[in-house]
Amino acid sequence: MNLLTIEDLNLENKTVFLRVDINTPIDPQTGKLIEIERIKEVATTVRDLCFAKVVVASHQGRVGRYDYIPLDQHANALSNVLGKEVKFIDDVFGPKAREEIANLKKGEVLLLDNLRFVAEENMEYEPEQASKTVFVQRLYKLFDACVLDAFPTAHRAHPSIVGFSYLLPTCGGRLVVKELKALNRITTAAKGPYTTVLGGSKVTDRIEAIEALISNNRADKVLLSGLIANVFFKAANKINYKLGINNEDEIVECARSLLAKYPQVFELPQDVAVERGGERKEISIDELDKNDAILDIGSRTIDAYSRIIRSSGTIFMSGPAGVFEKKGFENGTEGLLRAMASSFGTTIVSGGHLTTALQRFGIKEWIDHVSTSGGALVLYLAGKRLPLIEALERSAMRVKK
């Protein structure tokens, strides 16, 4: 992989656009940050740019969701981690933001507000088109270079990822380089059989990657839980009500096609856990009422999945098995992670929620590679090209010429 690092660019006293991913789990009741693992990770790159003027940019949440909030809390958290002030501006590319960027001094750090407050940042583009967006055009002349350190967002061709890098000398930040080195080492040594454990609520990315994982011999078995399991339950005609996800009919049809094409690969939960009378109750999928919310996998499923995990040569898990933050419904996520921790196979865990879970259960050090990246890591392991990596390679070629 041909890319530049911070040492390859002369950034002394230069103004740098640093694209990170500090998209953080938010408490839906209080609106406060639940944990700051990603903020801690990006602090390394910010520290190593202490000789520059650093403008940090990230998105948070999705439009219309409870976690779609400003980044003032993130600025405070980053300040605490760094032990120095991080300025915050409640603007992204307007006059206030441009003035703050232009007035930055060497060693100062400025965090822009939530990039997804900009309409263009909620869409994907070809690099040249991204470079022509109003967002990029208003800002890029204020910068001397771009540093991409948002590996969790590497699969998104947003203007902040591919637009600035099209116009400015661009290198990888510490987290991106660390991830790529670790993944290259692990995937080179990995052995079969390969088991992929998929959960969580991000269905579109998972569906997109599953067939690529299977066809690239990275998934001899796919163990399903979370919302993705509900999609496959519906595809198998075991659920007949609406799931309430975007493009539901299309996604369910895709799952039905995958089940027909690879019938021996997929494992669906044998039982699930719901809340009835304020208590955890484990039932079979046939006993499920349309008013029941599936909050976890059941004990029989945990045992069955754990046996498969322990007999695998390489295990990759992305997304929790249930709502592990809710007391009484952490069993599935904890059980599968502990099975991985006790496995003799190569283990990879991805996503911010699972990183938090590993820390909560005290078993993070037992996993070979832990990444806060979710969908990007799934697609990388599936052999898909990632826009952020392509942007880095493109810039390296341009700079070297």
Q: What's the per-residue H, E or C state across the chain?
A: CCCCEHHHCCCCCCEEEEECCCCCCECCCCCCECCCHHHHHHHHHHHHCCCCEEEEECCCCCCCCCCCCCCHHHHHHHHHHHCCCCEECCCCCCHHHHHHHHCCCCCCEEECCCHHHCHHHHCCCCHHHHHCCHHHHHHHHHCCEEEECCHHHCCCCCHHHHHHHHHCCEEECHHHHHHHHHHHHHHHHCCCCEEEEECCCCHHHHHHHHHHHHHCCCCCEEEECHHHHHHHHHHCCCCCCCCCCCCHHHHHHHHHHHHHHCCCCEECCCCEEEEECCEEEEECHHHCCCCCCCCEECHHHHHHHHHHHHCCCEEEEECCCCCCCCCCCCHHHHHHHHHHHCCCCEEEEECHHHHHHHHHHCCHHHCCEEECCCHHHHHHHCCCCCHHHHHHHHHHHHHHC
- pLDDT higher than 80, residue 394: yes
User: What percent of the chain has a predicted confidence (pLDDT) above 90?
Assistant: 75
302/154 same-domain check: no
- pLDDT higher than 90, residue 90: yes
- pLDDT higher than 80, residue 224: yes
Q: Is 183 a member of any domain?
A: no
Q: Which of 158-162, 245-249, 335-339, 366-370 has the lowest mean pLDDT?
A: 245-249
244/167 same-domain check: no
Tell me the range of 26-30, 42-46, 277-281 where mean pLDDT is highest. Answer: 42-46
CATH code assigned at 321: 3.40.50.1260
- pLDDT higher than 90, residue 208: no
200/166 same-domain check: no
Q: Which of 101-105, 189-193, 288-292 has the lowest mean pLDDT?
A: 288-292
Calculate the average pLDDT of the chain.
Answer: 93
23/89 same-domain check: yes
288/395 same-domain check: no
pLDDT of 329 reads: 95
133/23 same-domain check: yes
Q: Is 246 a member of any domain?
A: yes
58/140 same-domain check: yes
- pLDDT higher than 80, residue 261: yes
pLDDT of 341 reads: 96
- Chain segment 111-163, per-residue pLDDT in tens: 999 999 999 999 999 999 999 999 999 999 999 999 999 999 999 999 999 99
How many domains does the structure of the chain reveal?
2
226/269 same-domain check: yes
Q: Is 379 a member of any domain?
A: no
203/276 same-domain check: yes
Mean pLDDT of 222-239: 94
Domain with 281, as residue range(s), is: 192-344
Mean pLDDT of 341-350: 94
Mean pLDDT of 195-220: 87
Q: Is 61 a member of any domain?
A: yes
- Chain segment 97-115, per-residue pLDDT in tens: 999 999 999 999 999 999 9
Structure confidence at residue 372 as a pLDDT band (50, 70, 90): confident
168/196 same-domain check: no
- pLDDT higher than 70, residue 1: no
